[in-house]
A and B are shown apart, each in its own frame.
Chain A
Amino acid sequence: MMRVSRKLRKWTATILDLPQDVVLDLPRITMIGGLQITVENHRGILHFSPHNLRLAMDNGELEVTGQDLIIRNIGAEEVFVEGKITGVQLHQKGQSN
């Protein structure tokens, strides 16, 4: 059942040319240079240190690496991080770690 509705949504998104994040409730990551990163639709913080930030997502996790990372703002849906960002990695569930 879940699979069917998911497929249907994906199909609607492609047919109507809608952005995937709106329809599929995926995280949307906006990055400004190596200075700022905004992650919408996250599912909580897994780890936070000045060099590493791991955010939970629906199917996997997002890892932001860098130096002097600061969470400028955090809400239920959105995280806004500043600092020297050196890398952003997506880990699909079950594939790594």
Chain B
Amino acid sequence: MKGTWVAMLRGYVWVKLVGGEAESFLNAATRDNVTLWDIAFTPSGELTFGIAVPDFFRLRPLLRKNGSRIRILSRHGLPFKMERLSRRKTFAGGMLAFVAAMFVLSMLVWNVKVEGGSAIPEEKIRQAAMAEGIYSMQWSFRLQDAASLSQRLSLRLPEAAWVGVDKKGTSITITVIDSTQPEKKVLENPRHLVAKTDAVITRIVAENGRPKVERNDRVRKGDILISGILGDEKHSKTVVSKGKVMGLVWHEYRIVSPLTTKANNLTGQSQERKYLLIGNRALQISGYGGEPFPLSQTRTTIQRKSLWNRVLPFGTMKESELEVTETEKRLTPAEAKEAGLAQARAELLGKTGRDSTIRAENILHEHTENGKVLLTVLFEVEQSIEVERPIL
């Protein structure tokens, strides 16, 4: 068989030769350029061969000359398939109907997507689109082209800065971009700025409102620093006062600092345990033998297997137990005092805010007792002291 698919396309038959002389028939066929293939004898002594359909009809005169007849054993290839298919009307009809349905369904709009994260409610956009004929189960050919559609849609949606319509196959994407609007301000009540604590003013900057105090003024807790009332008694107006007031504030601290501190140190000895993770269960693989250290820290690392960004429920877990010894450190009173002060400073700055600085510190009282250093310290901190108070 030369070129199987060509033979399939043209169609071929298996044929049995009855009567006549086989050799002379074969010679005649080759002389006439009739292509035969797989020429063989059946056990009963009949010649069988394959022949293409167009050649089959050229065989007639040769057969007549040779005095033999032919019997078709089987038919193969497309022409015969088509013939069989044409006999099955409903099947062929179904195939046609499928192609037709496919074609018709591909001409429909199947889904309409709204994108762009607009503040305009999606319902409203969909309504506008519906009015322009963009809705699912609409015929594609009844829609106008994307450019004029987007133009008409943007006329229907004046709030949008830009409307885009994109048709891809059977889906339509409507992209709506909002025009940018200024940020909304939080509504604020008219207010004063008053002192949080007793302080000496070091700096006052009023953005809005009238400053009531000056640099180096001494204020008490609750005193108005920046007033929200403008004008005199007859003509007055309340405003939202804004500003920044810095002042020196005194904080008294009582510090207790121990002379001995305990610290944990790693000795370097460790034991590893390995686990196999399946789901949320762990199966220990190595590192049996209990806990060898009286004091220890355990560090755990979990590795999960992943396949293409997807975490699988398998993995390994490694636990290393590190031996720890507790060491005691003795401090001199001076060191203990410094440590206590440092801690107090950090605490103070944490409490008073980021823009505060420690201006001065005075140790009022120092006393060592029962392995502790007791201190009383006065810190002078420059910090912001303003707090809002609404005008009622």
B39/A70 in contact, CB under 8 A: yes
A67 to B26, CA, bound (A): 20
Q: How far is the CB of A69 from chain B (nearest CB, A)?
A: 8
Q: How far is the CB of B307 from chain A (nearest CB, A)?
A: 49
Q: Known interface pairs A70-B39, A72-B38, A74-B39. Does A45 touch B23 (Cβ–Cβ under 8 Å)?
A: yes
Q: Which residues of A contact B40 (CB under 8 A)?
A: 50, 68-71
Q: Which residues of A contact B2 (CB under 8 A)?
A: 73
A48 within 8 A of B: yes
Q: How far is the CB of A84 from chain B (nearest CB, A)?
A: 13
A47 within 8 A of B: yes
A74 to B55, CA, bound (A): 14
A67 to B35, CA, bound (A): 24
A40 to B26, CA, bound (A): 16
The size bracket of the interface on B is 10 to 19
B22 within 8 A of A: yes
A48/B38 in contact, CB under 8 A: no
B33 within 8 A of A: yes
Q: Known interface pairs A45-B26, A47-B23, A48-B26. Does A76 touch B31 (Cβ–Cβ under 8 Å)?
A: yes
Q: Known interface pairs A70-B40, A72-B38, A75-B35. Does A48 touch B23 (Cβ–Cβ under 8 Å)?
A: yes
Q: How far is the CB of A85 from chain B (nearest CB, A)?
A: 14
Q: In B300-323, which residues have CB < 8 Å from any A CB? A: none
Task: Using CB atoms, name the residue of chain A closest to B48.
Answer: A70
Return the contact of B30 from the options A46, A69, A76 (Cβ within 8 A): A76
Q: Which residues of A contact B41 (CB under 8 A)?
A: 48-50
Q: Which residues of A contact B47 (CB under 8 A)?
A: 48
Q: Which residues of B contact A68 (CB under 8 A)?
A: 40
A66 within 8 A of B: no
A44 within 8 A of B: yes
The contact string, 1 if C-beta is below 8 Å from chain B, for chain A 13-36, is: 000000000000000000000000
A71/B38 in contact, CB under 8 A: yes
A25 to B47, CA, bound (A): 31
Q: In B156-185, which residues have CB < 8 Å from any A CB? A: none
Q: How far is the CB of A67 from chain B (nearest CB, A)?
A: 11
Which has the most chain B C-beta neighbours within 10 Å: A44, A47, A68, A69?
A44
B236 within 8 A of A: no
B37/A76 in contact, CB under 8 A: no
Which has the most chain B C-beta neighbours within 10 Å: A45, A46, A68?
A45
B27 within 8 A of A: yes
Q: Which residues of A contact B37 (CB under 8 A)?
A: 71-74
Q: Which residues of B contact A44 (CB under 8 A)?
A: 27, 30-31
A2 to B382, CA, bound (A): 130
Task: Using CB atoms, name the residue of chain A closest to B40.
Answer: A70
Q: Which residues of B contact A49 (CB under 8 A)?
A: 41
A22 to B36, CA, bound (A): 26
A7 to B2, CA, bound (A): 39
Q: Which residues of B contact A48 (CB under 8 A)?
A: 22-23, 26, 39, 41, 47
B23/A74 in contact, CB under 8 A: no
Taking Cβ atoms with an 8 Å cutoff, the residues of B that contact A are 2, 22-23, 26-27, 29-31, 33, 35-41, 47, 49
What are the 5 tightest A-B residue pairs by CB atom distance, in nearest-first order? A71-B39, A70-B40, A44-B27, A50-B41, A45-B26
Can you spell out 26 A-B residue pairs with CB atoms less than 8 angstroms apart? A45-B26, A46-B23, A48-B41, A49-B41, A50-B40, A50-B41, A70-B38, A70-B39, A70-B40, A71-B36, A71-B38, A71-B39, A71-B40, A71-B49, A72-B39, A73-B36, A74-B26, A74-B29, A74-B30, A74-B35, A74-B37, A74-B39, A75-B30, A75-B35, A76-B31, A76-B33
- Extra pairs beyond A44-B30, A45-B23, A76-B33 (11, CB < 8 Å): A46-B23, A48-B26, A48-B41, A49-B41, A68-B40, A71-B39, A73-B2, A73-B35, A74-B36, A76-B30, A76-B31
